[in-house]
Chain A
């Protein structure tokens, strides 16, 4: 079992939709949870950073951590074509495979 599992997608949604991206992890000791966004042919950039459990909101983005289920989520509200990218979760220093998201106008 991989330490961090992420569905690679691809995921395609219409503009304005709510997007839910998820990762599961195996090591319950992890405390730091990150989401990175990676545009095509670019390096990843940090989007959200959460320590321990709970929710964190930043504009249209919400990161959620459920430590009891070892499950993290990233929600994107009112999705825009500019949100089209690959989203990678990082738990501790382990990265998921990334989910490719396309938001269609």
Chain B
């Protein structure tokens, strides 16, 4: 049981380049999230998904897109990377409580360190 995994672990991009970060979870969780973590800012929610085929915007969605084609995978895309997107990106997942509410307990991946020069 690997939990939440993220690839790649590190990446350096030049301004304007694009890339996709992959998150996978093997816990059959309904809900998945993408966060960025910056010094002094804590974790900020970029996008999230409440189930396969659905996505929604979080607190800081600009410059990012996401897709959830399979329940176990959640992809984060940067179409045209900017230095302001230099950060550590974390994926998380949570299970459903009752018929439709997500648990507040989140399980995080190990993170992807992205540098945009």
Chain A: residues with CB nearer than 8 A to chain B? 4, 6, 8, 32, 34, 36, 41-46, 49, 88, 90, 92-93, 95-98
A95 touches B43 (CB 8 A): yes
> Distance in Å from the Cβ of A42 to the closest Cβ of chain B?
6
B41 touches A43 (CB 8 A): no
- Point out the residue from A6, A42, A46, A88 that lies within 8 Å of B110, measured CB to CB: A42
| Extra 12 A-B pairs, beta carbons < 8 Å, given A95-B42, A96-B42 | A4-B42, A8-B40, A43-B4, A43-B90, A43-B110, A44-B90, A45-B108, A46-B107, A88-B42, A90-B106, A95-B44, A98-B42
Chain B: residues with CB nearer than 8 A to chain A? 4, 35, 40-45, 90, 92, 104-111
B106 touches A46 (CB 8 A): yes
A93 touches B104 (CB 8 A): yes
A43 touches B104 (CB 8 A): no
> Distance in Å from the Cβ of A83 to the closest Cβ of chain B?
19
A43 touches B43 (CB 8 A): no
B42 touches A97 (CB 8 A): yes
A49 touching B105 in the complex, CB below 8 Å, given contacts A42-B110, A43-B90: yes
CA distance A81 to B36 in the complex (A): 28
